[in-house]
Amino acid sequence: MIKAIILLLVGFVLLVKGADVFVDGSSNIARKFGIPSIVVGLTIVAIGTSLPEAAVSISAAMKGSNAIAISNVVGSNIFNILVVLGLVSLIKTTTVSEDVLKRDFPICSILIILMTVFSMDKVFAGKVIGKINPLLPKNADKVSGKIGRIEGLVLLLIFVAFLIIAVVSALKAIKNGSITEEESDKKEVSMGMSVLFIILGAAAIKFGGDFVVDNAIIIALKLGMSETLVGLTIVAVGTSLPELVTSIVAIAKGENDIALGNVVGSNIANVGFVIGVSAIINPVSCSMISLVNLILTSIVTLTIFAFAKSKNLINRFEGFISIVGYGLFMAYSIIMAFA
């Protein structure tokens, strides 16, 4: 048990540092080819922040641990939008930019709703609905549907479209002078070192993902927890720590757009990129409890969207409500797991 916990922590470190090194190497190469830093930030860095979740979910899907593959993304998205955004709003009332309000939040909502619908094919086929109550613990592991390769491709294409729209919008803003292109203050790194960074980063991400999945399963078995609960809690929180740190640092520096954009952008990448790629590699089955969690995630996302849209800001009270909401979600998940 202690060995599994240590290896799990090692896995988290490998994931976070591996993603960091991988992004540095990729960004250096992109700059050498003259790609603007804002484009690098909107593409390579955006994907890089979700590499830990991607490594865990892809590894879990390939090993048949579908519960971890889905619950990792669901748990990470709920943690991001309730805890990360909640804490950020508690520290300081968070203003919402037009880009986040009119582009990012709607795409985030569409993706999570689509993922939920894709996970309900057995329900729509009449094989589940009316026969079982998904809220009963005894039905938690029954399969509600599967996110297949076509559905995964749809999610991934929406994510790619989002990146293209964001990049085009940013380049137009630079051309119009509404934003300025910042020069990178990072030390110049040779092409050889950049390639080495990519290789080492990718290796760390791969092994980190395996460590997290394998040892999360061991811990779940030892504690009598379901893989879903482990994915929603330990794994999701661990892979979301970079977003938490980045957002808190950003809000402390007065960078509201970065703090909020980081959270919403990460959630878009988690569904579009992580689940999309995972399902393309190996179709992901969804249990009834995961379906309920997906529905809750959709409701939470739309609720926070409504908070943001009401006055173009998320205030301290709404941040407090978000954190309380996460506590209630965790209480519900634990009750369902051990009932």
CA quadruple 150, 39, 45, 313: dihedral, nearest 10:
-90
Is 333 exposed, middle or buried (CB count within 10 Å of its CB: 0-12, 13-18, 19+)?
buried
What is the mean predicted confidence (pLDDT) over 38-66?
75
DSSP string of 105-158? HHHHHHHHHHHHHHTTHHHHTTSSTTT--TTSGGGTTSEEEEE-HHHHHHHHHH
For the 1-177+188-338 domain, the top CATH level (class) is mainly alpha
Band (187; pLDDT cuts 50, 70, 90):
low
For the chain, the structural domain boundaries read 1-177+188-338
Decide which of 193 and 122 is more confident: 193
Range in 123-137, 228-242, 274-288 with the lowest mean pLDDT: 123-137
% of the chain surpassing 70 pLDDT: 83
Query: Residue length, the chain?
Result: 339
**Closest alpha carbon to 313 in 255, 256, 249, 265:** 256
Do residues 88 and 319 make contact, with C-beta atoms less than 8 angstroms apart? yes
- Whole-structure pTM over 0.85, yes or no? no
Which tokens hold the place of 7?
A: 């290896």
Do residues 287 and 69 make contact, with C-beta atoms less than 8 angstroms apart? no
pLDDT in the model for residue 46: 67
* Helix 51-62 × helix 2-32 angle, to 10°: 120
pLDDT in the model for residue 40: 66
Range in 71-80, 105-114, 139-148 with the lowest mean pLDDT: 139-148
Q: What Cα–Cα distance (Å) separates residue 249 from each residue in 84, 123, 145, 275?
A: 11, 43, 40, 28
